[in-house]
A = this chain, B = another copy of it.
Amino acid sequence: MSIKNVTIAGAGTLGSQIAYQSALCGYQVRIWNPHPERAEKRIAALRPFYKHDLKLTDEQFDAGLKNIVSITNDWETSFKDADLVIEAVPENLDMKKDFYAQLCSVLPKEAIIASNSSTYVPSQLVQLVDRPEKFLHLHFANHIWVFNTAEIVGNAKTDPAVIQEVVAFAKGIKMLPIVLKKEQHGYIMNALSVPFLNAALGLWGKGVADPITIDKDWMNSTGSPMGPFMSMDVIGLRTVWAIFSSHADTPEQKAIADKLKAMIDAGHYGVEAGEGFYTYPHPAYEDPNFLKE
């Protein structure tokens, strides 16, 4: 089997990106969303990003839209012709349970199911599907047209041929497929970046240096285009706070969580807010002399 028809279930931030990227790359895309009008808005909102980041013309962006066959909350329309379903519904186990039960009742037996879950690992979701050998995780990063890593990991029963079909699909939508041999909370990228960002927050919390100084040190020492606090602004401080505060056990860590919370409460929660550790749209690090003084 070769994947041609892809249905994205759930058109939130990532679902809408996966849907449009797949359509742009020539796949026939169906979008299932409880509120189709919201899904349409999210897809339309991607236009300026693709124009700015990938230099797409309006005509090129529109050509991608033509490969979106349907946007609906109808199960039959959305799933009956799917070769691959990418599940991007909210990270709530009850919602996932309901979704997968209904999905399996309408989805052709030979279709592959891939979850984009960040929070759950395959062994937690596989019990919700009727085809463990055709179930795996396919995990994307926000702004997939730029940050094009796709982390892929099966459950204990996933057919290796299914992994390979999803690898081919990931390449087909211009991702770099990264196949994990074993499931891992946070996959690879978040498993590396969480302790790294925690260490940066620790230095800030202790008053060793301010965020800009820490970023400069890391960037100059490693050649990375971003320091940890620039990354946190991009991720959004509400997400950073949610992850950090869930493991903040010591008084020092609680104090850091509070510092983050104060920034969020002041409306300074990152790039999206126009302010975080830096001020946007023209953050200090855009200055060509940023690493020279």
Q: Are A221 and B147 neighbours in the complex by a CB distance under 8 Å?
A: yes
Q: Are A188 and B176 neighbours in the complex by a CB distance under 8 Å?
A: no
Chain B, residue nearest A225 (CB)? B223
A184-214 CB mask vs B (1 if < 8 Å, else 0) is 1001110111111011101100111110011
Q: Can you list 26 A-B pairs with a CB-CB distance of less than 8 A? A: A147-B221, A151-B217, A176-B216, A176-B220, A176-B291, A178-B209, A178-B213, A178-B216, A181-B209, A184-B206, A184-B208, A189-B218, A189-B221, A191-B203, A192-B196, A192-B199, A192-B217, A192-B218, A193-B222, A194-B199, A195-B195, A195-B198, A195-B199, A196-B196, A222-B225, A222-B226
> Is A3 interfacial (CB 8 A cutoff)?
no
What's the least CB distance linking A206 to chain B, in Å? 7
Docked pose: A22 CA to B223 CA in angstroms? 23
Q: Which 5 A-B pairs have the closest CB atoms?
A: A196-B196, A188-B217, A195-B195, A224-B224, A223-B225
What's the least CB distance linking A205 to chain B, in Å? 11
The tally of residues in A whose CB lies under 8 Å from a CB in B reads: 48
Chain B, residue nearest A189 (CB)? B221
> Is A273 interfacial (CB 8 A cutoff)?
no
State whether A188 and B223 are in contact (beta carbons under 8 Å apart), knowing that A176-B292, A213-B179 are contacts in the complex.
no
Please indicate the chain B residues that have their CB under 8 angstroms from the CB of A292 in the complex.
Answer: 176
Docked pose: A63 CA to B203 CA in angstroms? 41
Contact for A221 among B149, B208, B217, CB less than 8 A: B149
> Is A180 interfacial (CB 8 A cutoff)?
yes
> Is A158 interfacial (CB 8 A cutoff)?
no
> Is A182 interfacial (CB 8 A cutoff)?
yes
Please indicate the chain B residues that have their CB under 8 angstroms from the CB of A291 in the complex.
Answer: 176
What's the least CB distance linking A96 to chain B, in Å? 23
Q: Are B196 and A203 neighbours in the complex by a CB distance under 8 Å?
A: no
> Is A129 interfacial (CB 8 A cutoff)?
no
A139-157 CB mask vs B (1 if < 8 Å, else 0) is 0010000011101000000
What's the least CB distance linking A231 to chain B, in Å? 8
What's the least CB distance linking A225 to chain B, in Å? 4
> Is A228 interfacial (CB 8 A cutoff)?
yes
Chain B, residue nearest A291 (CB)? B176
Docked pose: A189 CA to B218 CA in angstroms? 6
Docked pose: A231 CA to B218 CA in angstroms? 13
Docked pose: A200 CA to B196 CA in angstroms? 11
Contact for A184 among B191, B194, B203, CB less than 8 A: B203
